[in-house]
């Protein structure tokens, strides 16, 4: 099964080519450094095109309902992750 609809933050940011093979396919792609860097660049571009981290909001997140109604920028600050054009946990880029 693939990712959820384009209304999800993942669907809005993750490039279509990176969604091939669903979640398992994306996770496999992340193991390759060059592919991971390409994904980062494309996600950065997608985030910018959508107005930045302050413009994307979490509407439903069952694992942690306290994140609902928060922007991606607020979630990043709460999680103590760095924000550039894309939110990435430290050391994960």
- Tens digit of each residue's pLDDT (9 = 90 or more) over 38-52: 999 999 999 999 999
How much is the pTM? 0.69
Average pLDDT over residues 29-35: 94
The pLDDT assigned to 7 comes to 61
Residues β-bridged to residue 57 = 71
Mean pLDDT over residues 45-62, rounded?
A: 90
Which residues, at least 6 apart from 55, have a Cβ–Cβ distance to it below 8 Å?
Answer: 71
Q: Cα(90)–Cα(70) distance, rounded to whole angstroms?
A: 21
How far is it, in rounded angstroms, from Cα 37 to Cα 15?
12
When comparing pLDDT for 93 and 49, which is higher? 49
Q: Count the Cβ atoms, other than its own, within 10 Å of residue 65.
A: 10
């Amino acid at each position: 099964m693939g990712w959820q609809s384009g209304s999800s933050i993942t669907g809005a940011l993750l490039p279509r080519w990176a969604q091939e093979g669903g979640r398992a396919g994306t996770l496999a792609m992340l193991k390759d450094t060059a592919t991971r860097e390409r994904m980062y660049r494309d996600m950065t571009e997608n985030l910018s095109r959508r107005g930045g981290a302050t413009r994307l909001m979490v509407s439903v997140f069952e694992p942690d309902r306290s994140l609902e109604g928060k922007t991606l920028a607020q979630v990043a600050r709460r999680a103590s992750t760095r924000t550039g054009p894309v939110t990435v946990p430290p050391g994960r880029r």
